[in-house]
Amino acid sequence: MRSQAKQLQSKLAEEAVTVQTAGGKIVMTIDGNLKMTGLAIDDELLSPSHKQKLQEAIKEAHEDALKKVQRIMAMKMKEMGGLPNIPGLS
């Protein structure tokens, strides 16, 4: 089972999800191991008057990316016949 977990982790490392929020002014990329690998913020959102909008847009992008990665994880696990009893993956 340990080799299956390593194989899954390796496959997930090859996956990446990129999402956009705030009309494309925030672009975030998260890999299959849930590591943020990219974040781009349009200069317009960096002014103090847009602080709350920026915070909400980053949170929205992060939540959207995580949901997409979790769907990929579930699909990969299903392809491998499932990996029961692995914390965070079941």
pLDDT in tens, 31-64: 988 999 999 999 999 999 999 999 999 999 999 9
Domain assignment present for 75 = yes
CATH number, domain at 72? 3.30.1310.10
Provide the domain limits for residue 70. Answer: 2-79
Query: Taking every pair of C-alpha atoms in the chain, what is the biggest distance, in angstroms?
Result: 52
Give the pLDDT confidence score for residue 85 in this predicted structure: 55
Specify if 87 maps to a domain.
no
Residue 83 clears pLDDT 80, i.e. is over it: no
pLDDT at site 73: 86
Number of structural domains found in the chain: 1
Locate tokens 């913020």: which residue? 41
Q: Is residue 58 part of a domain?
A: yes
Query: Is residue 89, in this structure, part of any structural domain at all?
Result: no
Would the pTM of this model clear 0.85, i.e. be above it?
Answer: no
- Residue the block writes with tokens 């943020």: 36
pLDDT digits (tens, 9 = 90+) for 61-77: 999 999 999 998 888 88
Residues 63 and 82: their CA atoms lie apart, in Å, by 24
| 86 inside domain | no
